[in-house]
């Protein structure tokens, strides 16, 4: 399957990120959107968009799904992939005090997701004051520099819009802008072409969050032995934070959905799916502790012996 498109929405506190997210959910009927947020108190999804709540997930009336990030963005991304219905597009609302480029680096470590488009919402009525503030100016500047697209929001509160736009364009030559009131933007902006590597080139000297994690793949045409795969899950090394995949078991027609988190794993028969051409597993773990060859040996030893010998 093609990677899922991602839009990372950043911006300082009060810029209007939540209002913009709600606008997108209301006005993009063509796509099933997944939403990840720091917590539900921060996003305040409009009540008439909510169909039901289930634990840390909010199912929306338009078929979209909203989940909390909690303490781990990488785990939240994997949980989103584990949903019964895969989203067409993913929105991630960053904290108002976060540097979006750090989050974007982490997303780039997950091959199931496309490099994110970073959209930064700016309060047009306050941005000049914020940039001049000795306590928050550097953060506001970092957020703007991270943006592939800047949304100048709350422009209805700016008496001299032309002057502000001219100042922004002169200060950030080549930066793409869109004008907004009350978070109203064209959802097509989420599909616009962008250059996700540009800001990383600018910020290269800074530590990247993605460097702490590594994504590993295991692909085979040989079916797994059920008992050996159970033993492999029980022996999974502690540096694996999450593992998931679609696997084929020897003697079984229907494929299995394999899910693993430290101390817990499950395998569910997918009766409504045809048998896959082999098995595909993705694991995410701590880069500094990762041992790709050990994981490969562990999973290879779980394959059906007779078929493995024949394939060799």
pLDDT in tens, 178-197: 888 888 888 777 765 544 43
More confident residue, 310 or 112: 112
Q: What is the mean pLDDT of residues 226-251?
A: 87
pLDDT at 136 over 50: yes
Q: What is the mean pLDDT of residues 62-77?
A: 73
pLDDT digits (tens, 9 = 90+) for 9-23: 988 777 888 888 888
User: CB of 113 within 8 A of CB of 196?
Assistant: no
pLDDT above 90 as % of the chain: 12
pLDDT for 225 equals 93
Quick one: tokens of 88? 């067409």
One DSSP character per residue, the chain reads -PPBEEEEEE--TTSSHHHHHHHHHHH-TTS-EEEEES-HHHH---GGGEEEEETTEEEETTS-EEEE-TT-HHHHHHHHHTSSS--SEEEEE--TTS-HHHHHHHHTT-TTBPPPEEEEEEETTTHHHHHH-TTTHHHHHHHHHH-SEEEEE-GGG-S-HHHHHHHHHHHSTT--EEE-STT---GGGGGS---TTHHHHHTTTSPPGGGGEEEEEEEESSPBPHHHHHHHHHT--TTEEEEEEEE-BTT-SS-EEEEEETTEEEEEE-TTSPPPSSEEEEEEEETTT--HHHHHHHHHTTB-HHHHHHH-
> Which structural domains are found in the chain, ordered by start?
5-207 (3.40.50.300), 211-311 (3.30.1220.10)
73-81 and 100-107 helices cross at what angle (nearest 10)?
50
Angle, alpha carbons 149-152-158 (nearest 5°): 165
For residue 265, list its beta bridge partners: 260
Average pLDDT, the chain: 78
φ/ψ region of 299 (left if φ > 0, alpha if ψ in -120 to 50, else beta) reads alpha
Provide the pLDDT confidence category of residue 258 given band limits of 50, 70 and 90: confident
More confident residue, 10 or 244: 10
User: CB of 110 within 8 A of CB of 152?
Assistant: no
More confident residue, 55 or 229: 229
pLDDT above 70 as % of the chain: 79
pLDDT at 108 over 60: yes
Provide the pLDDT confidence category of residue 233 given band limits of 50, 70 and 90: very high
pLDDT digits (tens, 9 = 90+) for 267-299: 888 775 555 568 888 887 777 788 889 999 999
């Amino acid at each position: 399957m093609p990677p899922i498109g991602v839009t990372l929405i950043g911006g300082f506190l009060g810029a209007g990120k939540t209002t913009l997210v709600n606008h997108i959910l209301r006005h993009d009927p063509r796509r099933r959107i997944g939403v990840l947020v720091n917590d539900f108190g921060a996003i305040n999804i409009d009540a008439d968009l909510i169909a039901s709540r289930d634990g840390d997930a909010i199912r929306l009336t338009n078929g979209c799904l909203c989940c909390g990030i909690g303490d781990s963005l990488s785990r939240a991304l994997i949980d989103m992939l584990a949903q019964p219905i895969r989203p067409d597009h993913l929105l991630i609302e960053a904290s108002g005090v976060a540097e979006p480029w750090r989050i974007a680096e982490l997303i780039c470590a997950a091959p199931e997701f496309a490099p994110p488009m970073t959209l930064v919402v700016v309060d047009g009525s306050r941005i000049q004051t914020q940039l001049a503030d000795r306590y928050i100016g550097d953060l506001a500047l970092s957020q703007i520099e991270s943006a592939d697209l800047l949304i100048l929001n709350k422009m209805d509160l700016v008496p001299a819009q032309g002057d502000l736009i001219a100042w922004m364009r002169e200060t950030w030559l080549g930066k793409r802008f869109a004008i907004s009131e009350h978070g109203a933007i064209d959802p097509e902006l989420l599909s616009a072409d962008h250059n996700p590597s540009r800001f990383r080139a600018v910020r290269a000297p800074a530590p990247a969050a993605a460097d702490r994690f590594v994504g590993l793949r295991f692909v085979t045409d040989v079916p797994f032995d059920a008992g050996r795969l159970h033993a492999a899950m029980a022996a999974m090394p502690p540096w694996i934070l999450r593992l998931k995949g679609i696997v084929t078991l020897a003697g079984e027609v229907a494929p299995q959905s394999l899910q693993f988190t430290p101390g817990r794993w499950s395998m569910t028969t997918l009766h409504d799916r045809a048998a896959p051409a082999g098995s595909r597993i993705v694991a995410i773990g701590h880069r500094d502790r990762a041992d790709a060859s050990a994981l490969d040996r562990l999973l290879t030893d779980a394959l059906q012996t007779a078929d493995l010998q024949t394939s060799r």
